[in-house]
């Protein structure tokens, strides 16, 4: 039986993540019945969700009530607006009003912003309570909900306040992707392609062979791509949970490929760009930077553009915004003092850290991605 055959079967795929504690990521269809077993010993359950998922949150609430839990619905704003001090304070107040103790739990139901916010609230309430993530977007399934990074934004930049707090379990129900807006699904593919560039070349091969199938939530290929992307993240997180690296090995920071410029674009655009679209441009940018630095070939850069464009992702950005982008990048989490650090490829599937590239190369790489806009 092939990997795609496994993905097409009704048997859920279970991937184990070994971090500060071990937990499962389950990938399949119709998984909400799995939730109660991740809440064993819990009395109260806060279901953090957006208005668009109100009906799903209510269905989960009713099911948990029927099994003896005490669920509480907490509605938060949609998208990056949720990731603020004000919203997390609202969640804390709701938890306090409802009497949540250390033996209670939070469920994050939604996209990456929701799971980031829910995870951060769980990490900080009483110095840490259980969180179970139910990602409903492709981006959240392959990236945000897995790995234990939680955080909120500030006026200075994205995810600058956060913590490492692993979930108790992650339920990736592929059925949720069937109603996801097409642009959101395509944007989520950027994080899948990222794994292809940094770790698993077979992802790029399969997307090139069937780009429409890769983004088809009703097909087996997308499920298998989710599996492979999650497996890579699980392996990396297991080796380097807190992104410290060791022995000169890049570790978890490899997962930030394309994110330095990508996060800057998000900030400059006031978070009106989808995360995956910004990261797509960010990956082409660092590919161009690596080419200029002699680390990638022209063909490797063309491979970046081809893979992303085949899925309908952007590979260029507007000219004339370099100074604003540079200012945003200088506040990036990966920067060290005044030194910018980029994850680049020293050949495909070989990510390395490049500290303090020549400013002239940074500008030249920007011109390479802005010339088409």
Does residue 20 have an active-site annotation?
A: no
* Any domain includes 238: no
Q: What is the pLDDT of residue 247?
A: 53
Instruction: Identify the bridge partners of residue 49 per DSSP, sorted by sequence position.
Output: 75
Give the structural domain span for 329: 182-216+257-370
Report the pLDDT value the prediction gives residue 373, as an integer from 0 to 100: 42
Q: What is the pLDDT of residues 205-260, one digit of tens each?
A: 999 999 999 999 999 999 999 999 999 999 999 999 998 876 556 899 999 999 99
Asked, for residue 106, whether it belongs to a domain, the answer is yes
Give domain status of residue 248, yes or no. Answer: no
Catalytic residue, from 80, 227, 243, 295: name it: 243
304 is catalytic: no
Q: Return the pLDDT at 9.
A: 57
- Please indicate, yes or no, whether residues 53 and 191 belong to a single structural domain of this protein: no
On whether residue 278 sits in a domain, the answer given is yes
Q: Which residues of the chain have pLDDT under 50?
A: 1, 6, 373
- Do 344 and 322 belong together in one domain? yes
**Does residue 205 sit in helix, strand or coil?**
helix
Q: Are 339 and 355 in contact (CB under 8 A)?
A: yes
- Give the integer Cα–Cα distance in Å for 326 and 309: 25
Residue 279 resides in a domain: yes
Task: Report the interhelical angle of 298-310 vs 275-292 (nearest 10°).
Answer: 170
Report helix, strand or coil for 215: coil
Q: Which of 116, 151, 179 is the last residue of a domain?
A: 179
Q: Does 206 share its domain with 131? A: no
Query: Is position 275 annotated as part of the catalytic site?
Result: yes
Write b or e for each residue in 52-82: b if 16 or more Cβ atoms lie within 10 A of its Cβ, otherwise e.
ebeebbeebbeebeeeebbbbbbebbebbeb
Q: Do 205 and 295 sit in the same domain of this protein?
A: yes
Q: Residues of 270-291 as b/e, b for ≥16 C-beta within 10 angstroms?
A: ebebbbbbbbbbbbbbbbbbbb
233 catalytic residue (yes or no): yes
In DSSP terms, 136 is beta-bridged to: none
Same domain, 316 and 364: yes
Tell me, yes or no, if 165 is annotated catalytic. no
Q: Is 252 a known active-site residue?
A: yes
**174 and 189 in one domain?**
no
Q: What is the DSSP string of 243-270?
A: S--BTTB-GGGGGGTTHHHHHHHHHHTT
Catalytic: 191? Answer: yes
Q: What is the pTM of this model?
A: 0.93
Does one domain contain both 144 and 210?
A: no
Q: Which of 49, 259, 291, 334 does the annotation list as catalytic?
A: 259
């Amino acid at each position: 039986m092939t990997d795609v055959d496994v993905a097409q079967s009704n048997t859920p795929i279970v991937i184990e993540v070994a971090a500060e504690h071990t937990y499962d990521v389950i990938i399949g269809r119709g998984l909400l019945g799995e939730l109660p077993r991740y809440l064993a010993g819990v009395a109260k359950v806060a279901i953090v969700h957006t208005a668009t998922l109100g009906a799903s949150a209510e269905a989960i609430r009713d099911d948990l009530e029927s099994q003896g839990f005490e669920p509480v619905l907490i509605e938060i704003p949609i998208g990056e607006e949720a990731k603020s001090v004000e919203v997390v304070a609202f969640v804390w107040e709701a938890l306090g009003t409802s009497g949540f103790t250390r033996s209670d739990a939070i469920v994050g139901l939604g996209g990456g912003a929701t799971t980031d916010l829910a995870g951060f609230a769980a990490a900080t309430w009483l110095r840490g309570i259980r969180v179970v993530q139910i990602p409903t977007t492709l981006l959240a399934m392959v990236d945000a909900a897995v790995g234990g990074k939680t955080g909120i934004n500030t006026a200075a930049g994205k995810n600058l306040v956060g913590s490492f707090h692993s979930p108790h379990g992650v339920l990736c129900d592929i059925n949720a992707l069937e109603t996801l807006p097409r642009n959101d699904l395509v944007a989520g593919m950027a994080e899948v392609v990222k794994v292809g560039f940094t770790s698993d070349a077979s992802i790029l091969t399969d997307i090139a062979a069937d780009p429409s199938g890769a983004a088809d939530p009703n097909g087996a290929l997308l499920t298998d791509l989710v599996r492979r992307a999650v497996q890579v993240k699980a392996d990396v997180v297991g080796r380097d949970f807190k992104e410290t690296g060791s022995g000169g090995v890049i570790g978890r920071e490899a997962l930030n490929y394309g994110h330095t410029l990508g996060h800057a674009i998000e900030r400059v655009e006031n978070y009106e760009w989808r995360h995956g679209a910004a990261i797509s441009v960010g990956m082409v940018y660092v590919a161009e930077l690596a080419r200029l630095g002699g680390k990638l070939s022209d063909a490797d850069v063309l491979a970046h553009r081809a893979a992303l464009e085949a899925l309908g992702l952007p590979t260029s950005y507007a000219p004339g915004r370099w100074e604003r982008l540079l200012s945003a990048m200088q506040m990036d989490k990966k920067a060290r003092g005044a030194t910018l650090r980029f994850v680049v490829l020293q050949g495909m599937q070989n990510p390395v850290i490049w500290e303090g590239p020549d400013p002239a190369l940074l500008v030249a790489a920007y011109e390479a991605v802005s010339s088409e806009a």
